[in-house]
Structure 1
């Protein structure tokens, strides 16, 4: 896919910081901005994928209760430290 123009307005301080960063990298402000946008979009897509995975896991209906988690955390650093809790809440799987 070829390049297409994009125009945007930013605060003066953002533009100043962008130009300062470009000077440090010995490149253009446009190149720094393009890279920043690419990285932002990659991060957001990664976050959405993680969320999709977590939702799919939660939709299975298998959970650890707050009480079990609390008992485990309270045992940390004691003589009777408990192992991580096993799931103890089982709901019908969610159908989508």
Structure 2
């Protein structure tokens, strides 16, 4: 169940939201809810990527297992071609 919350916007931002709402044939309320939903989704994904990156770095520091940039670049360059390479093997 949704509950009301308030947000303070300066007059310029209010006008921009109103104008966009008119162009999109939506309400200002819809525009603001959509903007917040997209922002939260994007930031949650960014946080998950940050956590995964830190976990991968810690794992590398513990094990030393990796693929070099050159190996990965060679693999990526082969994508879409007839001679597509398999993913590089990780090693110490």
Whether TM exceeds 0.5 here: the answer is: yes
Distance 1:26 1:66, change over 3 A: closer
1:32, CA displacement in angstroms?
Answer: 0.8
**Number of residues paired by the alignment?**
86
Q: Which of structures 1 and 2 has the larger relative contact order (alpha carbons within 8 angstroms, sep 6+)? A: 1
Distance 1:83 1:24 in 2: 49
From 61, 68, 71, the counterpart of 2:71: 68
Answer 1 or 2: which has greater helix percent.
Answer: 2
**Map of 1:40 onto structure 2:** 39
Q: Could you say what the CA RMSD is over the residues aligned between the two structures, in angstroms?
A: 3.3
Structure 2: state its 5+ residue gaps: none
**Map of 2:18 onto structure 1:** 19
Answer 1 or 2: which has greater strand percent.
Answer: 1
Structure 1: state its 5+ residue gaps: 90-96
Scaled by the length of structure 1, the TM-score of the pair is 0.60
